[in-house]
C-alpha cells in the first residue's frame, strides 16, 4: 500500500514537472481563444434579438440553434441517441400555471397580488377548495421543546396562519464578512414548518408575507404566470400523489384584519413574544375559504451537446465535461421599462462563449492530428436560472457513464470585474476558482500549476469557504456533477451587484481581453486533464472532508 502511494505521488510529481514548461501545441491552438472570436459569439447570444434567452421561450431556442450550428461547423458530433436531434438533449419539463386563484375572509373576496397570492408550485393538477370556520394563528409556526406553537393544539383539518420566517429562540447568525452580502434567505425553515403541518394533516396554511405590499411590478408580473413554475414531468407525476399543503401567502394588512378579531396585530404579537419568549398561539373565529386550480404545459428545453472523441484507444472512453449555461432570465416584466431585455452578457453569455471558444480550439487541434487523448463533451445547459435544471437533468440522464466522467470544468460569468476587484491593481488578472479542492486535492494542485505555467492569474478561493454566506459553490451547474462525486472547477468573476440579473448586463460592459484569458486558463486545464496519464483522484467528500480509507 505504501509503495502504491509513493509511486502515485512520484507519477504526479513527474506530471507537474513536465507541465512546468508550456506545451507548444496547447499554446498554438489556444490562439483561437481571443477577444475578437469572443465578441463574434457574444454579440449574437446577448443581443436584443435573443430576448434574454429565458428557458422555454423563443430566445433560448434561438440560442440553442446557434450553439448547435457552431458545434457542427467545428466538426463536433452530436452524441445524443434517444432523440430526433443528436445535438439536443431534450429535457422532460413542463410549466405549471394557475387557472384559478380565489380567497375570501369573513365572506369578503380578497384581491389577488394585493392581499394575497398563491405559490404556483404548491398547487397540484387536482387543485383544491378549502373551507374553514376558524383559523389557528401559530405565529412563528415552530415545534421545538423550547418554543412549541402547537402544544395542546390539534391542527388536523384546520387552517393555520404563520409568519413566513423567524425563530425568536434561535441564536443570531454571524454577520457576513466585510465586502460580502448576507446569503439570500433560505426557504428551508419555512419548508420544515410546512412539512410538520402536512404530517399533522392540516387543511391549509396562510403564510404572512411582508413582501406582498412592497412587491415590484416586475415581480408581480412574474408571479402572475409570465414566468410559470417549471418542473420535470417525472416529478409532476410524483407530486400528483405526494402529500402537499394548500398554501396562500397573505399580506401584513390582511393578517392584521384577521388578528383584529383577537384585538391584536402583528407588531403587538412580535413584541409580546420577544418579551416573554412564549408562543402566542390563538384560535381565531374567522371563516376563510380559498381555492385554486392549475394546468400543465410541456416546455421545449434542451441542453446542447458537442462531442469530440479522444484519440487514445485506451483513454477515449473517459470523458471530460466542459459546461456553461446559455439561458438567462428573459424579458423585463414591467411594460413601462425603457430597456426590456435582460441580455445576460456576463451571466452567462460569457461562459457560453468560453465553451464555444474552447470547443473550436480543441476541434482545430484534432483536425491537425493533435487531438486530446481522452474524449471531451462540450455542453451548454439550459434552465440554470430556474434551479440548475439542465445540469440536473444531465446528472440524472447522463449521455456518458458517470463512472467514465473524469471532471467538469464550468464557466459561469467570466467577462467582467466583480465588486471586490474594482479599482484594484489586479482587477484585470484574477478569477474566482471554486470547488477545485473540494473533491480532489490533485485537481486543485493541477489547476494551480497550470495557472503558474500559462496564465499567471490570481486564483481567488474565497467562495471555497464552507461558511461562505453566498453559498456560491452550490449555485451553478458544476454542483450537479460534484454531487455525483465528479471533481469540478467553477470559474467565476464574482459580479453580484452591478447589473446582476438586470438589463444593464450588456455586451458593451464585457472585458473581452479578460474573458479570453479566463477561457485560456480553463482550456489549458482541460488540455492537461484530457492528455495526462491518470484522471484526478477523488480523495474528498462533497463537503470537502477527507474520504476515509
Residue 10: the pLDDT is 46
- In 3D space, the residue among 520, 465, 479, 518 whose CA is nearest the CA of residue 495 turns out to be 518
Residue 182: the pLDDT is 42
> pLDDT at residue 55 above 80?
yes
How confident is the model over 434-440, as a mean pLDDT?
Answer: 97
Contact at 8 Å (CB) between 374 and 313? no
Give the start-to-end residue ranges of the domains of the chain: 32-91+301-531, 95-297
> pLDDT at residue 6 above 90?
no
Q: What size, in residues, is the chain?
A: 549
Q: Per CATH, the architecture of 32-91+301-531 is what? A: 3-Layer(aba) Sandwich (3.40)
Greater pLDDT, 120 or 23: 23
Contact at 8 Å (CB) between 391 and 381? yes
- Sheet order of strands, 88-90 included: 88-90, 302-308, 375-381, 319-325, 405-411, 488-492, 430-434, 458-460
> pLDDT at residue 316 above 60?
yes
> pLDDT at residue 1 above 70?
no
Residue 185: the pLDDT is 40
Residue 430: the pLDDT is 98
The three-class DSSP label of residue 335 is coil
Angle at 524 between CA 519 and CA 528, to 5 degrees: 145
Fold designation for 95-297: Glucose Oxidase; domain 1 (3.50.30)
Question: For 246-282, how does the pLDDT look when each residue is reduced to its tens digit (9 = 90+)?
Answer: 999 999 999 999 999 999 999 999 999 999 999 999 9
Output the 3-class SS for 395-456. HHCCCCCHHHEEEEEEECCCCCCCHHHCCCCCCCCEEEEECCCCCCHHHHHHHHHHHHHHHC
- Which of 111-115, 217-221, 301-305, 533-537 shows the lowest per-residue confidence on average (mean pLDDT)? 217-221
Residue 172: the pLDDT is 63
Question: For 530-544, how does the pLDDT look when each residue is reduced to its tens digit (9 = 90+)?
Answer: 999 999 999 999 988
- Which of 176-185, 193-202, 491-500 shows the lowest per-residue confidence on average (mean pLDDT)? 176-185
> pLDDT at residue 455 above 80?
yes
How confident is the model over 461-488, as a mean pLDDT?
Answer: 95
- In 3D space, the residue among 292, 303, 341, 277 whose CA is nearest the CA of residue 124 turns out to be 292
- Which of 25-29, 188-192, 359-363, 450-454 shows the lowest per-residue confidence on average (mean pLDDT)? 188-192
Q: What is the pTM of this model?
A: 0.80
Amino acid at each position: 500500500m505504501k509503495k502504491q502511494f509513493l509511486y502515485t505521488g512520484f507519477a504526479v510529481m513527474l506530471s507537474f514537472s513536465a507541465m512546468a514548461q508550456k506545451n507548444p501545441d496547447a499554446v498554438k491552438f489556444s490562439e483561437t481563444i481571443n477577444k475578437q472570436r469572443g465578441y463574434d459569439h457574444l454579440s449574437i447570444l446577448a443581443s436584443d434579438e435573443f430576448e434574454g434567452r429565458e428557458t422555454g421561450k423563443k430566445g433560448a431556442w434561438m440560442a440553442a440553434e446557434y450553439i448547435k450550428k457552431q458545434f457542427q461547423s467545428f466538426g463536433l458530433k452530436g452524441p445524443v441517441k434517444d432523440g430526433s436531434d443528436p445535438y439536443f438533449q431534450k429535457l422532460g419539463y413542463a410549466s405549471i400555471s394557475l387557472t384559478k386563484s380565489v380567497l375570501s375572509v369573513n365572506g369578503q373576496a380578497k384581491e389577488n397580488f394585493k392581499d394575497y397570492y398563491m405559490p404556483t408550485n404548491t398547487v397540484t393538477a387536482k387543485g383544491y377548495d378549502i373551507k374553514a370556520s376558524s383559523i389557528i394563528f401559530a405565529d412563528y409556526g415552530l415545534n421545538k421543546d423550547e418554543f412549541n406553537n402547537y402544544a395542546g393544539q390539534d391542527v388536523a383539518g384546520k387552517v393555520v396562519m404563520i409568519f413566513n420566517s423567524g425563530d425568536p429562540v434561535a441564536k443570531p447568525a454571524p454577520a457576513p464578512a466585510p465586502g460580502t452580502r448576507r446569503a439570500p434567505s433560505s426557504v428551508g425553515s419555512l419548508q420544515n414548518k410546512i412539512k410538520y403541518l402536512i404530517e399533522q394533516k392540516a387543511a391549509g396554511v396562510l403564510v404572512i408575507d411582508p413582501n406582498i405590499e412592497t412587491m415590484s411590478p416586475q415581480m408581480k408580473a412574474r408571479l402572475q404566470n409570465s414566468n410559470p413554475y417549471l418542473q420535470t414531468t417525472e416529478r409532476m407525476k410524483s407530486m400528483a400523489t405526494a402529500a402537499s399543503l394548500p398554501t396562500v401567502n397573505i399580506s401584513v394588512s390582511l393578517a392584521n384584519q384577521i388578528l383584529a378579531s383577537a384585538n391584536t396585530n402583528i407588531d403587538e404579537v412580535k413584541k409580546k413574544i420577544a418579551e416573554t419568549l412564549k408562543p402566542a398561539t390563538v384560535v381565531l373565529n374567522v371563516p376563510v375559504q380559498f381555492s385554486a386550480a392549475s394546468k400543465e404545459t410541456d416546455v421545449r428545453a434542451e441542453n446542447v451537446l458537442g462531442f469530440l472523441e479522444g484519440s487514445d484507444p485506451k483513454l477515449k472512453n473517459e470523458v471530460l465535461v466542459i459546461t456553461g449555461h446559455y439561458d438567462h432570465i428573459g424579458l423585463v416584466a414591467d411594460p413601462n421599462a425603457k430597456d426590456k431585455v435582460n441580455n445576460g452578457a456576463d451571466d452567462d453569455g460569457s461562459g457560453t462563449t468560453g465553451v464555444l471558444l474552447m470547443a473550436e480550439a480543441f476541434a482545430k487541434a484534432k483536425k491537425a492530428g493533435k487531438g486530446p487523448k481522452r474524449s471531451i463533451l462540450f455542453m451548454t445547459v439550459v434552465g440554470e436560472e430556474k434551479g440548475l435544471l439542465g445540469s440536473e437533468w444531465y446528472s440524472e440522464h447522463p449521455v456518458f457513464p458517470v463512472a467514465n466522467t473524469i471532471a467538469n470544468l464550468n464557466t459561469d460569468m467570466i467577462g467582467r470585474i466583480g465588486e471586490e476587484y474594482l479599482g484594484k491593481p489586479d482587477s484585470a488578472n484574477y478569477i474566482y476558482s471554486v470547488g477545485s479542492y473540494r473533491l480532489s486535492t490533485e485537481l486543485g494542485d493541477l489547476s494551480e500549476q497550470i495557472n503558474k505555467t500559462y496564465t499567471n492569474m490570481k486564483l481567488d478561493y474565497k467562495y471555497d469557504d464552507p461558511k461562505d454566506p453566498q453559498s456560491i459553490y452550490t449555485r451553478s451547474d458544476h454542483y450537479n456533477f460534484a454531487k455525483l462525486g465528479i471533481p469540478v472547477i467553477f470559474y467565476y468573476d464574482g459580479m453580484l451587484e452591478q447589473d446582476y440579473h438586470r438589463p444593464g448586463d450588456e455586451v458593451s460592459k464585457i472585458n473581452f481581453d479578460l474573458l479570453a484569458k479566463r477561457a485560456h486558463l480553463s482550456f489549458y486545464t482541460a488540455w492537461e486533464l484530457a492528455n495526462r496519464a491518470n484522471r484526478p483522484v477523488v480523495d474528498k467528500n462533497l463537503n470537502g472532508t477527507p474520504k476515509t480509507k
